[in-house]
Structure 1
Amino acid sequence: MSLYLEHVSQQFGQTPALRDITLEIKKGEFIAILGPSGCGKTTLLRAIGGFIKPTEGTIRLDETIYSDGHTMVPVEARDLGMVFQSFALWPHMTVEEHVRFPMESKRQKHLSAEEKRRAVEQAIANMGLLPYAKRLPGELSGGQRQRVALARAIVGKPSILLMDEPLSALDAELKISMRREIQDIHSQTGATIIYVTHDQSEALAMADRIIVMKNGAIEQIGTPQEIYASPRTEFVASFVSKCNMVQGKWRDHQFHVAGSTLVYEDQAIAPVFKEKGIYPVRPEQFRLSRTGQGLAATVTNRQYNGREIQYSLRCANGWFTVYTGCEAMFQPGEEVRMILKDQEGAGR
């Protein structure tokens, strides 16, 4: 079943939190809603979940209206599971009791006691929690508590799983592990997942499509590859992996770099960049060299992380970030050339 949002807007007093959101989320999709704090992503998730009623617009699951001007289906009556940033676990309830709790709702009244018991046991087993079924949250690690929240969300086999920054409270290594867990849940259950995050790496790694939001509106919707390689706005280019914005002038299908004789060829650059005289370049699209045809720059900072080196550079065209391999190393203060990899030799 597809989820439809049609001209959804949300006002809090005089403040617009959502601005005319229209989109279709297909059955079984993994959708990441990405954006900075205050962009409206959590408000959008709360509207889908039934925690708030939109000021305007319609939310429906196929032909079942969840919210519109006349209808507001309560949270417990929607075919949804939810995972929160805080895990939302009760300290006095065991793992088993947490996972059993959703099975007592009216939505599950058609199931027999034995069917409910098997569903709870299966959800606990799927999350690797059988040895901890009788433990309280205070006796579990952060990753185990997150698995309890996930088991509770999937036990009723909802059509849609809503996840609000579920990994933000975990350390970096555990986040990577839990990403795999969530991807496994997606493939095993076939549920539609709507995943709110401000972490671009999470969105790029897991989602089928990404919705990038800014100031309550959708900036761009696309696959991770489309969002990363073909940003349609300056905000998307700068928010997702911090594109370098090379200044210059567009003439026909060529970009003349300001302050140099360099000419870059059009690589399906979006019209908004051409209007502003900008050529967006991802940090890994430049290579650094001590000689050659490229933008003259000075290394101002170097950060080594084992797999790559991140450089900050200053040149007449602005401040830039470049990611390189570890085969060569440049020192802060050193003069270098930034060469666009796929257009080496273009323009002299």
Structure 2
Amino acid sequence: MIRLDGISKSYGDVTALHSIDLTIKDGEFIAILGPSGCGKTTLLKLLAGFMKPTSGTITINDTVVASAEAVLPPEKRNIGMVFQSFALWPHMTVYEHVQFPLMHHSFAPKADKEQREERVKNVLRMVGLESLAQRYPHELSGGQKQRVSLARAIAPEPGLLLMDEPLSALDAELRMEMRKEIQHIHRHTNASIVYVTHDQSEAFAMADRIVVMNHGKIEQIDRPEMIFTRPETEFVATFVGKCNLIQGKWEEKMFIPKPFPNEKWPDIGVSINLKKKGLYPVRPDQWALSKAKEGSSHGVVKFVQYQGKEMYYIVQVGEEEWTVHELIQHTSRFQVGDPVNLVLQNTVIKKEAVLV
């Protein structure tokens, strides 16, 4: 188990991390998600041992490996790392890349030459590279290079695998393929994985839990489905779920939206933090649009974008713009300038009038 207690990191007057508390269970897949500059990579570097925290401690299996006073270097930690840039050596073959940590990693199982060869073959088979063992990096595609990087990291059987946006240099199709590869590796190695990304789909597809960060702080830690459907803060609601934050007031367990004062929406798990601010998060796919007559509409369509199975709309409601995603039906789609009504699907308790 890995524990971060009160971890902060400052660079002069700039604080990159603010008092981070996080526990990572054995075999758990944790995704660190957030925009550029939120502190994701700094957190990963601290876990790897590349730098000391300004305050707080990092504990791995009951051993303190980092504090403000001292830090255990990477080579003395049972970790593997996968980098965004692949970080392959041009003079080594695929086979030699995977063999290297078996000979030099401090925590690699002690083995003779025959056992090392068997381990290399098994790892290459795991990542589908056994037929490319004698190739050099310049003879490989981007996806194959990333597989080599993964194979090299898992070969010594590390207890913790750190990944720093490993798929960002690949195209969309390769990213999908590599996601499956990483999940396959996780199942077979049972290593704890900390995966840094700004790609929400990667985090949701693979992680057991997601840590959402912003401005060096943790906004929320939870299972992917809870992050998406039960955001705790305004940032998580808008960054992850792309929610529309509707203003209004809470009366017991009912919400009265300011734009629709004659409607009451039920509490479907809105966080205390959002309630205190008089907000109700509505994801774009929770709206249903219907045609309305001029003068009796909720809003006007300002933007339309075709997205295959869905239509994306921006609807002007009063002084605000709300995002709406609707599955394409057999009915005609809305055009810019159309007056429309919005209905919150499956949640509106009472509707006595239409906002004019």
Taking the TM superposition and a 5 Å limit, the aligned residue runs for 1:1-348 are 2-105=1-104, 106-108=106-108, 110-260=110-260, 261-290=262-291, 296-316=298-318, 318-327=320-329, 328=331, 329-344=333-348, 346-348=350-352
Q: 4+ residue runs of structure 1 moved beyond 3 angstroms?
A: none
Q: Deviations over 1:190-227 (max 9, x none)?
A: 11110001111111111100001111111110000111
The answer (yes or no) to whether the contact 2:108–2:157 under 8 Å persists in 1 is no
Question: 1:81–1:158: 8 Å Cα contact kept in structure 2?
Answer: yes
Tell me, what secondary structure is at the counterpart of 1:87? Answer: coil
Contact map agreement 2:25 2:192 (CA 8 A) in 1: yes
Q: Give the superposition deviation at 1:94.
A: 1.3
Partners of 2:249 and 2:279 within 8 A in 1: yes
* SS of equivalent residue, structure 1 residue 153: helix
Report the 3-state secondary structure (helix = DSSP H, G, I; strand = E; otherwise coil) of the residue aligned with 2:250. strand
1:314 partner SS: strand
Q: How many residues align?
A: 346
SS in structure 1 of the partner of residue 107 of structure 2: helix
- Matches of 2:259 and 2:107, distance apart in 1: 66
1:32-70 deviations in Å (ceiling 9; x for gaps): 001111111110000000111111111111212211244
SS of 2:280's equivalent in the other structure is: strand
* Structure 1 stretches lacking a partner, 5+ long: none
* Conserved 8 A contact 1:80-1:162: yes
Quick one: which amino acid aligns to residue 56 of structure 1?
A: S
Secondary structure in structure 1 of the residue aligned to 2:86: coil
Q: Take 2:168 and 2:279, find their aligned partners in 1: how far apart are those partners?
A: 34
Q: Letter of the aligned partner of 2:228 in structure 1?
A: Y
The answer on whether the counterparts of 1:200 and 1:241 sit within 8 Å (CA) in structure 2 is no
Is residue 3–residue 22 contact of structure 2 (8 Å, CA) maintained in 1? yes
Q: Report the Cα distance in structure 1 between the residues aligned to 2:109 and 2:192, rounded to whole angstroms.
A: 23
Counterpart amino acid of 1:19? H
Q: Look up the equivalent residue of 2:80 and give its one-letter code.
A: G
Secondary structure, in 3 states, of the residue corresponding to 1:343? coil
Distance 1:80 1:314 in 2: 51
Amino acid at match of 2:41: T
Partner SS state of residue 86, structure 1: coil
| Amino acid corresponding to residue 282 of structure 1 in structure 2 | R
Measure the CA separation in 2 of the matches of 1:65 and 1:46: 16
Given that residues 313 and 321 in structure 1 are in contact (C-alpha distance below 8 angstroms), is that contact kept between their aligned partners in structure 2?
Answer: yes
One-letter amino acid matched to 2:133: A
CA spacing shift, 1:259–1:285, aligned 2, 3 Å: closer
SS at match of 2:42: helix
How much has 1:295 moved relative to structure 2?
A: 7.1
Gap runs ≥5 in structure 2: none
* Contact kept? 1:264, 1:347, Cα under 8 Å: no
Q: Partners of 1:336 and 1:58 in 2: how far apart?
A: 55
